Amino acid sequence: MELSEHIKTANVEAVTLRRPFHPALRGTLCVTSHHLLFSDRKDEASRQLLILIKNIDAIEKSVENLFGYPRAVGSSGTITIKCKDLLVLQLEIPGMEECLNIASSIEVLNIVITSHRQKERLLWDRWRVSKVNSDYSVCPSYPSAVIVPREVDDDKLIRSARFRQGGRFPVLSYCHHRNGMVIMRSSQPLTGANKKRCKEDELLLQAVIDGSELGYIIDLRSAQQAQQARMTGGGFESKSCYSHWKRIHRHHERGKVVQESLIKLVEVCSDPSHTVDRWLSKLENSKWLSHVHSALSTAGLVVECVERDGHSVLVHGSEGTDNTLLVSSLAQLILDPASRTVTGFLCLLEREWIQAGHPFQQRCAHSVYSHARLKQECPSFLLLLDCVWQVWRQFPLALEFSEALLLRLAQEVYASNYGTFLCNSEQERCAAGVKENTHCLFQSLLKPDIEEQYLNPLYEPTDLAIWPSVHPQSLQLWTGMFLRWTKHAQNMEEAREEVWRIVKEHRERAGPDRTNNTLSTHCDTLTPFENLMDELTIL
Amino acid sequence: MEHIRMPKVEHVRLVDRSSSRRTQVGTLYLTATHTIFVGKGSEDRNDLWVLHSLVCNVVKHKASQSGYPLLIICKNFQVIRFIIPQESDCHDVYISLSRLSRPEKYEELYCFSFNPNVDKAEREHSWDFLDLKAEYSRMGLPNKLWHVNPINREYRVCDTYPADLFVPKSVTLPVIVGSSKFRSRGRFPTLSYYCKENHATICRSSQPLSGFSARCLEDEQMLQAIMKSNPGSRFMYVVDTRPKLNAMANRAAGKGYENEDNYCNIKFQFIGIENIHVMRNSQQKLIEVSALHSPSMGEFLTGLENSDWLRHIKSIMEAGLFISKAVAEEGVSVLVHCSDGWDRTAQVCSVASVLLDPYYRTLKGLMVLIEKDWVSFGHMFSHRCGHLIGEAKEVSPVIDQFLECVWQLMEQFPCAFEYNEKFLISIHIHIYSCHYGNFICNSQKERKDLCIKEKAHSVWLHLWEKKLDFMNPLFKPDQSQNQGLLRPSTAPYCFKYWRRLYNRFDRELHPRQSELDCLMTVKEETQKLEEELALYEGVKLNFSKSGVLDSKQALWSLPLDTSLANTPQDYIGGAPNVFTLQQGERESAELCLFGDQTKSSDADNSDQESGVADFSSHSSGEESLPSEDSVKDPDSDETGPNRA
């Protein structure tokens, strides 16, 4: 639950404030997640007041006219606020109901904020930010700061990194607030043919589950592929060395195969003259929907481990830069309400794709029409967007963003005026001075007046996990993307406009309160984008 | 009653295929009209009612450890799995149900015992709700070129046609009689749809008895008269909806198709829609695909392809599109026929009408269209839907295909239809359930002989009264695109699998939140606010606040969605418990989660485990379709258990 949801009444007009050294003031009182704000709407600083809710030590309310008529003119209440810095002030609030609401909101917030903090502290007892990779020498594709178990020191990380392909040692990707379980990600361990071990890597994983009985390793290769990987120096975590971890293999196609799927899919979509049989057979043959199916299923499995069974999970494939990110970010979308807002989703992409070192430049060098020979191309990111779209189809109210945002991202990832998707890793971006020389796409998308088309008019946040159905009957071709340039799309556009019209009409009628409810909650959560790293640390 | 060998069986288990946790234990009752399952446990009051007339098949499976499985396969694609502890009980239920679900006489059908609390006047009123005469006059008929010919008043010329038929004024009685003798089953060319704007018509008939060389002057005059009744055009289309090969084969049996040389100014056209047997087999395959348990994407798509179902839907759609374009764009009249002119002809004429006329995209319009093109023109509902025990070869999902074509159009034009897919599904159920009298028998004459209107009720008024459930919030009647002819794309990717129909009872397959329901709530809310505004106009009253509260609640009062949001799916691809811990551990883990969850999300009144249970109790209210229409009808309570 967002803090702001505890606020019963956010705004009261014509409140009288009495405090030491100042004349009584009449103005507006606002309650926000962390502050109490009073202003008489004039510019002078002396006529405004900002108090941290945390600073409030006690609150007393006295309501006049208790036996009278609640809405009668003149009924009012007084709240006395006693702060931890010994300041005492009084607020006279017109309207008994408002008065009680304000008082109880402050009381509740005060408790909740404290418990939030405690939870965070609990987390930080177990996890820390490591700068071991600050010069990108331990793992060239990781960001300079990563989150690891507190009890594992940097030396151990370095050794674990040597034991993992590309140095991608297990790092924290998500921590589930409800039960403290985590999703970790890494690349495959380099056990090789003669079953090498790495004590530090084992310790690192042991520290992750920290006393609990079991963790799951979701290996995104079939058992056979994982076996074969040993021949080329890769491998998997064997039961004997990682006794508290249970391995589950789920086969995922990668690289060239997925790229070819996309090529076949687009090819069949661009020929309307096929018979239905041919269409279905070619659609099947492209295997694109099968990839969507496996990505969502495995993400569902991860969520099941974390949310239902209460176990931590480590996800990896081979390099840990494609399917690994796909699965871990989808799992977060399903689990975490915060990642379903516009900001949250873009943060997720920033963390799980851009900072986590998905090699965008290699993967998205060409799209489907190019005759260039395939090298490293693979539409992993597009696959993610497709899966997100499928989730949205099944939970049309649960995401704050719209299909248009997904389409925009699908476009930007291949060709962009912005620097966000440039290069293959943070190291490369640093070296190329991307941050200094280009603009950030996400920031421009998050302008305070975010474009309406990127918002879902029906958004109603829910705290629950949104488990998508992965039955083939429930998955559909993403027509908005793949049949984008057909007549079909126009009718859908019309429907979208109609949805907006209905919602807007309702907001107009329902008055500004209602409008605030959906749109301003969005604005509240809109934090400047520079805070991404904070986001990372707050988790 | 005499067919019920076993009125009550205890300790029966109702198995939910998707999740063994949802298996219920309870008591099974057989009544004269329903199979009823009452689950044990007080909080879960989700009784299951299945009309005998909806049962398509009863199957006994090999005994398992836990008992004797009995499958009830319904015509609305529901499959109910019971496990009965005793073999003899299972056998008795099987024998009873097999008989009860295969009535031999019309009188045994449910509509004759269905007795809602309404008086005679109300029943008659329900039949008067739709008036075909009014529909023809809406089209602009009769006019100076077309009139009702009384020739078939006593069903003497054609016993499968309605009594009132529109033919060109210029046609004389001998021409009609002559033409009818030259057509299969006397189904001579007659009007189905008239386009006011350009006088073009869609006419329908059966195939001519032309054999290899026969001709009939009256029939040729008939076509000539139809063509002439469209003053603007110089020719007309004759569309044979069969594949050419089938039509040629019919010639050997003395039937066949029109020879362009004998009829002046006709353009003859084959449209290869397959016959009822092909369609039946195709749907059978489709149902098998829909019932696959956790298929892979590949299996599903291949199965869909091999069923050929969507190919058939496309061919019907294309035929409808061809005709509607001929009428609207060329202003040319069309005569449509197949063999007997009551299956493919009905499909194609009605699809064309939906494309042509926005009226048929409204609730009442679609009812009228079905009443006109299907019921009155003698689509053999009882045969095609297997209402009575009889020739299995006569059963075919012809009307299913029409409803599906409409659904495919709704998918392409989300703002063009007043109704939503629930409406189509409700109609589908009622066609099969024999709950109301509308779709009993095979022709108007049979219905009249059976006095259906005196003994049974009409479904249309019932549906109309529930119309709020059937509204499409996105409907924009004024949009220019939605006026006049709809031009659907017939590209293969526009034909989708109709999950809501074929997997309706597999709840876990469907979106957990409904965009349309939410929009409908919002719309209603807006309207309410507007009314309030009008009411309090001028009075300074802060009414909007209450509105806000309401709306917030209304949005959250979609319990179906929020509670289900938390039902995990089967991501393992197999039996639910294959994966993870040993049973004991798992249970304890779940239990403790359960506790936590209840605490943490009390506010939302839905948590992960109880979400499942929630859903089942909500489902009767929320998803009104399965419970109210098919399995359980609140009206029918008195005819139900009491009779047992």
Name all contacts of B252-255 with Cβ < 8 Å and 24+ positions apart.
B252/B211, B252/B212, B253/B211, B254/B209, B254/B211, B254/B214, B255/B184, B255/B207, B255/B208, B255/B209, B255/B210, B255/B211, B255/B339
**Closest by Cα among B449, B454, B423 to B437:** B454
- What number is the average pLDDT over the span B182-208? 95
Given this model, what pLDDT does residue A70 score? Answer: 44
Q: How is residue B534 written in tokens?
A: 């009008």
**Residues B15-42: tens digit of each pLDDT:** 887 766 678 888 999 998 899 998 886 5
Chains A, B: CB contacts under 8 A, how many? 236
> Inter-chain contact A280–B310, Cβ cutoff 8 Å?
yes
Please indicate if any CB of chain B lies within 8 Å of the CB of A472: yes
The radius of gyration computed from the CA coordinates of chain A, to the nearest angstrom, equals 27
Given this model, what pLDDT does residue B538 score? Answer: 61
Given this model, what pLDDT does residue A252 score? Answer: 93
Sign of CA dihedral B115, B119, B122, B128: positive
- What number is the average pLDDT over the span A28-36? 84
> Inter-chain contact A502–B522, Cβ cutoff 8 Å?
yes
Chain length of chain A: 539
Can you name the residues that pair with A63 across neighbouring β-strands? A77
- Residues of chain A in contact with residue B415, where contact means CB-CB under 8 angstroms, are 491, 494-495, 498
Where in the sequence of chain B do the CATH 2.30.29.30 domains occur?
8-102
By the 10 Å C-beta count (0-12 exposed, 13-18 middle, 19+ buried), B121 is classed as exposed
Pick the more confident residue, A164 or B481: A164
Q: How is residue A318 written in tokens?
A: 């081979």
Decide if pLDDT at B9 tops 80: yes
Decide if pLDDT at B275 tops 50: yes
Pick the more confident residue, B373 or A93: B373
- What number is the average pLDDT over the span A197-201? 91
Nearest-Cα residue of chain B relative to residue A512: B544
- A448-467 residues touching B, CB cutoff 8 A: 458, 460, 462-467
- Residues of chain A in contact with residue B572, where contact means CB-CB under 8 angstroms, are 301
Decide if pLDDT at A488 tops 80: no
Pick the more confident residue, B212 or B589: B212
Domains of chain A listed by start with CATH number:
3-124 (2.30.29.30), 127-485 (no CATH)
As annotated, the binding site of B includes: 275-276, 338-344
> Inter-chain contact B518–A396, Cβ cutoff 8 Å?
yes
Spatial separation of the C-alpha atoms in residues A492 and B33, rounded to whole Å: 44
Q: How is residue B214 written in tokens?
A: 């026969």
Q: How is residue A45 written in tokens?
A: 């600083």
Decide if pLDDT at B562 tops 80: no
Residue among A466, A475, A492 minimizing CB distance to B565: A466
pLDDT-based confidence at residue B596 (cuts at 50, 70, 90): very low
Residue B42 CB contacts under 8 Å (≥ 6 apart), including other chains: none
- CA distances A30 to A56, A91, B107, B418, Å, are 15, 12, 72, 45
Nearest-Cα residue of chain B relative to residue A291: B297
User: Poorest-confidence range of A236-245, B411-420, B440-449?
Assistant: A236-245
Decide if pLDDT at A224 tops 70: yes
> Inter-chain contact B308–A277, Cβ cutoff 8 Å?
yes
Helices and strands, counts by H and E, chain A: 20, 14
- What number is the average pLDDT over the span B564-576? 52
User: Poorest-confidence range of A406-410, B398-402, B570-574, B638-642?
Assistant: B638-642
User: Poorest-confidence range of A180-184, A487-491, B218-222, B246-250?
Assistant: A487-491
Are the C-beta atoms of B206 and B378 separated by less than 8 Å? no
Nearest-Cα residue of chain B relative to residue A478: B493
Given this model, what pLDDT does residue B567 score? Answer: 57
Establish whether B338 is a catalytic residue: yes
Best to test chain A binding among B300, B309, B516 (most A CBs inside 10 Å): B300
Given this model, what pLDDT does residue A120 score? Answer: 55
Q: Report the percent of chain A where pLDDT is more than 70.
A: 88
> Inter-chain contact A276–B495, Cβ cutoff 8 Å?
yes
Spatial separation of the C-alpha atoms in residues B273 and B348, rounded to whole Å: 10
The separation between the first and the last C-alpha atoms of chain A, rounded to the nearest angstrom, is 15
- What number is the average pLDDT over the span A312-335? 94
Given this model, what pLDDT does residue B635 score? Answer: 40
Residue among A179, A287, A394 minimizing CB distance to B512: A394
CA angle in degrees (0–180, nearest 5) for B253-B256-B259:
140
> Inter-chain contact B526–A510, Cβ cutoff 8 Å?
yes
**Residues A415-428: tens digit of each pLDDT:** 888 889 999 999 99
Instruction: Give Cα B592 distance to the centre of its chain.
Output: 45
Pick the more confident residue, B623 or B68: B68
Best to test chain A binding among B21, B294, B305, B608 (most A CBs inside 10 Å): B305
Spatial separation of the C-alpha atoms in residues B339 and B187, rounded to whole Å: 10
- What number is the average pLDDT over the span B579-592? 35
DSSP B603: G
**CA atoms in the 13 A half-sphere facing the CB of B453:** 13
Write the ipTM: 0.82
- Residues of chain A in contact with residue B481, where contact means CB-CB under 8 angstroms, are 491, 494
pLDDT-based confidence at residue B391 (cuts at 50, 70, 90): confident
pLDDT-based confidence at residue A72 (cuts at 50, 70, 90): very low
In three-state secondary structure terms, A315 is strand
- What number is the average pLDDT over the span B50-76? 90
Are the C-beta atoms of B315 and B323 separated by less than 8 Å? no
Residue B282 CB contacts under 8 Å (≥ 6 apart), including other chains: B274, B307, B308, B309, B312
Are the C-beta atoms of A474 and B499 separated by less than 8 Å? yes
Given this model, what pLDDT does residue B604 score? Answer: 38
Produce one character per residue of B155-168: b if its CB has 16 or more CB atoms within 10 Å, e if not: bebbbbbbebbbbb
- What number is the average pLDDT over the span A368-373? 78
Pick the more confident residue, A408 or A13: A408
Tell me which residue has tokens 């077309």: B146
Spatial separation of the C-alpha atoms in residues B395 and A300, rounded to whole Å: 42
Given this model, what pLDDT does residue A279 score? Answer: 93
- What number is the average pLDDT over the span A252-257? 90
Please indicate if any CB of chain B lies within 8 Å of the CB of A511: yes
User: Poorest-confidence range of A66-70, B132-136, B184-188, B609-613?
Assistant: B609-613
> Inter-chain contact A397–B561, Cβ cutoff 8 Å?
yes
User: Poorest-confidence range of A381-385, B322-326, B488-492, B564-568?
Assistant: B564-568
Decide if pLDDT at A32 tops 90: no
User: Poorest-confidence range of B97-111, B446-460, B629-643?
Assistant: B629-643
Catalytic residue among B90, B338, B405, B434: B338
pLDDT-based confidence at residue B482 (cuts at 50, 70, 90): low
Q: Which CATH architecture has domain B8-102?
A: Roll (2.30)
In three-state secondary structure terms, B616 is helix
Q: How is residue B385 written in tokens?
A: 């839907």
Decide if pLDDT at B644 tops 90: no
Helices and strands, counts by H and E, chain B: 24, 14
> Inter-chain contact B555–A460, Cβ cutoff 8 Å?
yes
- Residues of chain A in contact with residue B489, where contact means CB-CB under 8 angstroms, are 272, 486-488
CA distance A268 to chain B (A): 9
As annotated, the binding site of B for substrate includes: 275-276, 338-344
Q: Report the percent of chain B where pLDDT is more than 90.
A: 62
In three-state secondary structure terms, A236 is coil
- What number is the average pLDDT over the span B165-170? 94
